[in-house]
């Protein structure tokens, strides 16, 4: 061979080698795009590769793209074309087996896989792709067979990082999170700082509710590859679980930007994230963008919820009513009825602040809640509506149910309004001791309700022992539960009025308790004077009363002072408040 011919041959070999190198790198680029869920770019790349050089391998990877994007018929065409190009392309045989598995034909898949394994059992890529296939389909997976094949694959090529990834996925199908993390760590050994592996480890920890480690690994994935979209998507779900809804929405937006994934289902999820982040206008905007592009009744749910939040009750009612008609009943959740009920309440015009249909739907939603805290809060939400409308009997019932559903998390505020609801219900039943024509039955019911209110206010004082109002309402409930003279004679309300005065007098601004102290001092003065026969103590309370109520006829008379001409000079026992005056509600505890 002459020198010129030899040089031409070397140049030709180098050219071919160069082309092969570029080809291999391009395939890897395409696979990286698939891992990053940049599916459109991956599809374009594999299509161009197959068109430019319709080799069996290029047809396989085109078909693989179609498998990953759930286009099984197109995948089959690509794999068949690959076999037509090279009938000994067992990678395409694996592809056809994968399609068969995806379509539920396990027998055919097994036949094709066994043929490929028999012929190419030493080919790590073939073993890897068969093993991976057994992890891809929810209804046709076989984690044990997948693990067997993947172990064989990495025996032949310990640097096959994606085989370790697939093994981790197979182990997760068996809920073996610890072993899965080990497999993903082997992937990092084979391919250091591999974003896919970091992200998979994060997802194991997310599933195990170890949110700190999940966050750590998602951040590692992003540091390894700032354009790796799945890390942002999974990070969004993590923030959602942590109830950091704004961060969840922001990261899901980043996922869509990085991946270019703008398919309707993805945008629907974005609308959900926007809603939870309280960006209802954005949620509606995304939903409008999807009109005519998606046939998913969840869009009706999201329209209904978002319209309810943006004070468009008619649109909310229309969307949610239609949603409840078409969505499977077993998949309806409590919030579907709650938002419908709130939309009806928003249309109420009778001054009550709620609509009977609205309340019915809200409570129907509460009864569907699987989370007892959510159900409890919803009953208390309705209780507040009833209380504001002065429907105290229904307020008492719903507050009671709300507390009973989740007693462990019931706050002092919950018991406070339950106690007030009972107190006001009793007050509306008429005067005690038949003075207003009450029957003995009504009198007994009324007394029992006041005693029940006292028991509820006792819980308030247990939860907030330094809050004066709780003791005021205990004293007031007991004062109304008994004959007035009997109460003073026995000092039934005395301990609670006394505690009220002690706490109020310690306050930097006791004047805010003035109306309550007037009743307390009046009662304690009468009790000391008529029951305890303690003139000194009685005088002390009368003096305190006069200091905050200079026109008190009873105090002036008791202290030997002439009553004010503008006031009634009769010195009678104190009257307990019949209605709750405005005061700060207790802090939740």
Cβ distance 542 to 559 under 8 Å?
A: yes
pLDDT at 430: 66
Spatial distance between the Cα atoms of 526 and 537, rounded to a whole number of angstroms:
10
Residue 120 included in any domain = no
User: What's the pLDDT at 563?
Assistant: 56
User: Helices 514-530 and 494-506: crossing angle, nearest 10°?
Assistant: 130
In this structure, is residue 319 part of a structural domain? no
Query: What is the count of structural domains for the chain?
Result: 1
pLDDT at 506: 95
Q: How far apart are CA 475 and CA 453, in angstroms?
A: 11
Residue 63 has, within 13 A of its CA and on its CB side, a CA count of 29
Q: Which domain holds residue 469?
A: 453-589
Report which of 347, 349, 350, 345 is spatially closest to residue 362, judged by C-alpha positions. Answer: 345
Q: What pLDDT is attached to residue 432?
A: 44
Residue at token pair 């602040």: 353
In a domain, 513, yes or no: yes
Three-class DSSP category at 153: helix
Q: Is residue 371 part of a domain?
A: no
Q: What is the C-alpha to C-alpha distance for residues 544 and 32, in angstroms, rounded to an integer?
A: 82
Alpha-helical segments (H) within 103-176: 106-120, 124-136, 143-156, 161-173
Considering only CA atoms, which of 362, 407, 406 is closest in space to residue 383? 362
Q: What pLDDT does residue 572 have?
A: 47
Q: What is the full per-residue pLDDT of the chain (589 aa) written as tens digits? A: 444 544 443 343 334 333 344 344 489 999 999 999 999 999 999 999 999 999 999 999 999 999 999 999 999 999 999 999 999 999 999 999 999 999 999 999 999 999 999 999 899 999 999 999 999 999 999 999 999 999 999 999 999 999 999 999 999 999 999 999 999 999 999 999 999 999 999 999 999 999 999 999 999 999 999 999 999 999 999 999 999 999 999 999 999 999 999 999 999 999 999 999 999 999 999 999 999 999 999 999 999 999 999 999 999 999 999 999 999 999 999 999 999 999 999 999 888 899 999 999 999 999 999 999 999 999 999 999 999 999 999 999 999 999 999 999 999 999 999 999 999 999 998 644 444 455 888 889 999 999 999 999 999 999 999 999 999 999 999 999 999 999 999 999 999 999 999 999 999 999 999 999 999 999 999 999 999 999 999 999 999 999 999 999 999 999 988 655 544 433 445 555 544 544 545 544 4
Q: Across the chain, how many H-helices and E-strands are there? A: 30, 0
Strand residue runs (E) in 276-425: none
Does residue 61 lie within any of the structural domains? Answer: no
Residue 26 has what pLDDT? 83
Q: Is residue 554 part of a domain?
A: yes
Q: How many CA atoms lie within 13 A of 428 on its CB side?
A: 11
Query: Domain with 510 in it: what CATH number?
Result: 1.25.40.10
Q: What's the CA gap between 292 and 224, in Å, rounded?
A: 39
Distance CA 127, CA 228 (A): 27
Q: How many whole angstroms from its chain centre is CA 169? A: 27
Closest CA to 434 of 449, 448, 444: 444
Q: Is residue 553 part of a domain?
A: yes
Q: How many whole angstroms separate alpha carbon 369 and alpha carbon 387?
A: 23
Distance CA 272, CA 266 (A): 10
Please report, in angstroms and rounded to a whole number, the separation of the first and last CA atoms in the chain.
95
In a domain, 236, yes or no: no
In whole angstroms, give the CA distance from residue 83 to residue 96: 10
């Amino acid at each position: 061979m002459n020198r010129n011919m030899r040089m031409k041959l070397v140049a030709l070999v180098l050219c071919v080698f160069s082309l092969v190198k570029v080809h291999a790198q391009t395939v890897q680029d395409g696979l990286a795009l698939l891992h990053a869920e940049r599916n459109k770019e991956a599809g374009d790349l594999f299509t161009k590769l197959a068109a430019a050089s319709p080799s069996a391998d290029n047809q396989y990877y085109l078909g693989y793209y179609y498998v990953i994007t759930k286009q099984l018929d197109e995948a089959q065409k690509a794999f068949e074309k690959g076999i037509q190009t090279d009938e000994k392309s067992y990678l395409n045989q694996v592809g056809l087996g994968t399609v068969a598995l995806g379509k539920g034909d396990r027998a055919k898949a097994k036949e094709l896989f066994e043929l490929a394994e028999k012929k190419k059992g030493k080919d790590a890529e073939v073993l890897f792709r068969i093993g991976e296939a057994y992890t891809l389909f929810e209804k046709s997976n076989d984690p044990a067979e997948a693990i067997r094949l993947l172990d064989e694959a990495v025996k032949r090529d310990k640097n096959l990082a994606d085989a370790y990834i697939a093994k981790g996925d197979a182990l997760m199908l068996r809920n073996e999170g610890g072993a899965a993390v080990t497999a993903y760590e082997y992937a990092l050994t084979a391919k250091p700082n591999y974003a896919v592996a970091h992200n998979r480890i994060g997802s194991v920890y997310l599933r195990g509710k170890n949110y700190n480690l999940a966050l750590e690994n998602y951040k590692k994935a992003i540091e390894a590859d700032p354009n790796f979209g799945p890390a942002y998507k999974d990070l969004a779900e993590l923030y959602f679980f942590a109830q950091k809804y704004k961060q969840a929405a922001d990261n899901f937006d980043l996922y869509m930007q990085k991946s270019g994934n703008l398919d309707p289902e993805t945008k629907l999820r974005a609308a959900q994230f926007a809603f939870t982040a309280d960006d209802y206008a954005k949620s509606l905007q995304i939903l409008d963008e999807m009109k005519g592009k998606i046939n998913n009744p969840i869009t009706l749910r999201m329209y209904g919820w978002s319209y309810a939040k943006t004070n468009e009750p008619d649109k909310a009612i229309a969307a949610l009513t239609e949603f409840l008609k078409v969505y499977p009943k077993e998949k309806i959740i409590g919030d579907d009825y709650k938002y419908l009920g709130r939309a009806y309440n928003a249309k109420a015009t009778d001054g009550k602040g709620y609509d009977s249909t609205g309340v019915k739907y809200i409570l129907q939603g509460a009864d569907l809640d699987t989370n007892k805290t959510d159900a409890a809060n919803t009953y208390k939400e309705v209780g507040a509506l009833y209380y504001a409308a002065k429907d105290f009997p229904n307020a008492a019932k719903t507050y009671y149910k709300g507390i009973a559903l989740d007693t462990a998390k019931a706050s002092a505020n919950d018991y406070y309004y339950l106690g007030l609801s009972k107190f006001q219900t009793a007050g509306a039943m008429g005067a005690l001791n038949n003075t207003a024509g009450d029957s003995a039955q009504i009198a007994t019911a009324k007394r029992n309700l006041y005693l029940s209110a006292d028991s509820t206010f006792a819980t308030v004082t247990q939860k907030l022992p330094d809050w004066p109002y709780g003791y005021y309402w205990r004293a007031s409930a007991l004062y109304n539960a008994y004959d007035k003279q009997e109460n003073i004679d026995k000092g039934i309300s005395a301990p609670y009025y006394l505690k009220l005065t002690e706490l109020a007098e310690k306050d930097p601004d006791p004047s805010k308790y003035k109306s309550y102290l007037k009743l307390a001092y009046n009662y304690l003065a009468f009790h000391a004077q008529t029951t305890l026969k303690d003139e000194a103590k009685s005088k002390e309370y009368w003096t305190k009363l006069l200091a905050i109520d200079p026109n008190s006829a009873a105090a002036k008379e008791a202290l030997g002072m002439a009553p004010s001409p503008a006031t009634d000079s009769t010195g009678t026992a104190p009257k307990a408040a019949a209605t709750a005056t405005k005061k700060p509600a207790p802090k939740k505890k």
